[in-house]
Amino acid sequence: MNPIGLIRQFIQGLTSDTDPRQIGAGIALGFLIGLMPKATLTAQLLIVLLMATRVNIPMALLSVLAVSLANPLLDRLSDPVGYALLTSEALRPLWTKLYNTPLMPWTGFNNTVVPGGLVLGALLLAPVYFAGKRFGVFYNEKFRERVMNSRIVKGLKASWLFDWYFKGAV
């Protein structure tokens, strides 16, 4: 997709799908994706889940960005949890079976940050969702109209180049 189309969809996402539940779900799913190393099949499957569900994608992307930037600090929590899971004698048969299953090594489950991040994300998913839902109410009351009336959005809507580009692309 082209850069102007991405900007348009991002702004459209900020002004539509603004139900607090959709914003909360987007932030929670973005939080979970942000905890994962992005080069694993686990992260890619979570991104597919993000695209397949009706959540607020711009808020999810902002959440992924914020958590990814804070990830070096969060890895200090998720790494020991993942290490404890991967070195547990009780779970050794499970890890062996997963490693010998096709495609499963690509999920990155043997990287301590992946299972630790999944456990940390699962524990914090509900609180992050409810905090995101509260932020969605706050966003709708305080910022949605500001975004709609901002110079950038108005400029993009009024631009003849923008209209010409999208009429030619359709």
- Confidence (pTM): 0.81
Please give the Cα distance from 100 to 107 (Å, whole number).
Answer: 12
Q: What is the pLDDT of residue 169?
A: 46
CA 23 centroid distance within chain: 11
| Structure confidence by residue, pLDDT tens digits, 20-74 | 999 999 999 999 999 999 889 999 999 999 989 989 888 999 999 999 999 889 9
Note whether 69 and 37 are within 8 A (CB): no
Between 16 and 166, the more confident residue is 16
Residue 97: band (very low, low, confident or very high) from pLDDT cuts 50, 70, 90: very high
